[in-house]
Amino acid sequence: MRLRNITGSEEKIEKHEFVINEYVEKKGNWGQVFGNEQPIRIEVGMGKGKFISQMAKENPNINFIGIEKYSSVLVRALDKRPEQLENLYYLCIDARELPDVFAEGEIDKIYLNFSDPWPKDRHAKRRLTSRQFLEKYISILKENGKIEFKTDNRNLFEFSLEEVVAANWILEAHTFDLHNDKRLVAGNIMTEYEEKFSSRGNPICKLIMKKPL
């Protein structure tokens, strides 16, 4: 998918009060950004931000950080951000930078929603559920920290299930049809992609994995 450049997006991101641009110095001190010591959860590749905004709205006792590497996408999330939210900040970074941004055990949970499938085999390491990325998540997740992953891409989902095993993560639950799975669909918040794909009849896959002991 080709992203349309939005003029002035980088300037708007730089000046927005809820975008953290000097993020490396916050490592290990993210509680100070929020002004409390509530659990911190992140969404990696948040797109236009519908999911994480709703999560923040429904969970005021949890802090959220939306991560998006494309400025032209992040700026759309900023435009849609509910003004009353005080527990949601944003970062414009690549997921590969996560260990440089967060300290060991600083993150409570990671959400991966409809990540780029990188369908060519030679690009497997770029998939956000690859064992290479799972190793990065280990370093920032707290003990018993979890990842929740959703996609409509069956091949990516099956790849992800294999990577969970290969990386020695604990697979807590998974489904190939989330919206018809009573165990996992309760409280489900849909992303923009999820709404679009499910409206076409595409089954949504979801897994929950826990950090290795």
Spatial contact of 191 and 47, defined as CB atoms under 8 Å apart: yes
Write down the residue that tokens 């905004």 correspond to. Answer: 53
Question: Which of 27, 84, 33 has its CA nearest to residue 60?
Answer: 84
Between CA 142 and CA 171 the distance in angstroms is 17
Tell me which of 79, 116, 121, 177 is the catalytic residue.
116
Kindly list the distances between the CA atom of residue 206 and the CA atoms of 129, 174, 176, in Å, as whole numbers in the listed order. Answer: 12, 6, 7
Active site residue 116: yes
Residue 28, sorted as left (phi over 0), alpha (psi -120 to 50) or beta, turns out to be left
Residues marked active site are found at 116
